[in-house]
Copies of this chain bind each other. A is one copy, B any other.
């Protein structure tokens, strides 16, 4: 006999984390249900709003990341969609999505240090930049190959501020980044993984769920890639690194999203 705290199943009744599934449906947005499954409780209104945006931030960044490439290539061998999507998720590792969990571990440590030693965020950030430089350690979640000013990061931090959800971990990362730029002269921005890490810490997520936060958004994009591969491409095609976007041109949100 062993225990599980996720879902209680009885004939004609499914209760997840204490909530009847048919009551969640239609009342609680799917993204908040994800939060419930990951954290054990439903978010308050503001946290729920930010969490929804956090998952959306990871949906896709085109066909070049290992996850999208792997999903498409496995698909091209002629396998069912779930197998190809799973292969894509399997590419999520230390170097692809892994920065979230690694940054979370560090941020939790730094805020704990601040609290224990009674220092300010700025003091701890400063010390840490020096320490990282000496030990040649790299801060995960800092810097990006393409985006110098990632619109997703900006949006997440501005939403967090507006909603009043950001806390010490976000401030700590921002102080670290500012200090890093000052001391190194390198204009490295906090990237989307870094923003997710900071906010997930402020929400109290276990760092071991860092990659899960990425998976949940990314699976939506991977399904789109596999479906597109199945319906637009020939099997066993030679993958050409040159591609172009031929989807809908940039457009405003439909009016019902204001």
What is A's interface to B at a CB cutoff of 8 Å? 1-9, 11-31, 33-34, 37-38, 40, 42, 44-45, 49, 52-53, 55-57, 59-64, 66-67, 69-70, 73-74, 76-87, 89-98, 146-152, 154-156, 159, 206, 208-209, 211-212, 215-217, 219-221, 223-225, 227-228, 230-233, 235-251, 253-254, 256-258
Contact = CB atoms under 8 A, between A and B. Distances in A.
Contacts of A12: 147-151
30 contacts: A1-B242, A1-B243, A2-B243, A7-B61, A9-B62, A11-B146, A11-B147, A18-B248, A22-B151, A22-B154, A25-B159, A29-B31, A30-B56, A38-B223, A38-B227, A44-B254, A45-B256, A70-B73, A70-B87, A77-B91, A78-B95, A79-B82, A79-B93, A82-B92, A82-B211, A83-B83, A83-B93, A86-B90, A90-B90, A208-B227
Contacts of A78: 93-96, 98
Copies of this chain held together in the complex: 4
Given A4-B62, A82-B93, A92-B77, A258 B27 contact: yes
Given A6-B228, A6-B245, A26-B49, 19 more contacts: A3-B232, A4-B244, A6-B247, A12-B147, A13-B151, A14-B60, A16-B59, A17-B247, A18-B248, A18-B250, A25-B155, A31-B31, A38-B223, A42-B254, A77-B94, A77-B97, A78-B94, A78-B98, A215-B219
Given A30-B217, A91-B73, A95-B76, A56 B25 contact: yes
A131 to B, nearest CB: 24
Nearest to A15: B250
A248 B42 CA distance: 12
**Which A-B residue pairs are the 6 nearest by beta carbons?**
A78-B94, A5-B247, A18-B248, A78-B93, A77-B96, A78-B95
A191 to B, nearest CB: 12
Nearest to A62: B9
Contacts of A253: 19, 23-24, 27-28, 42
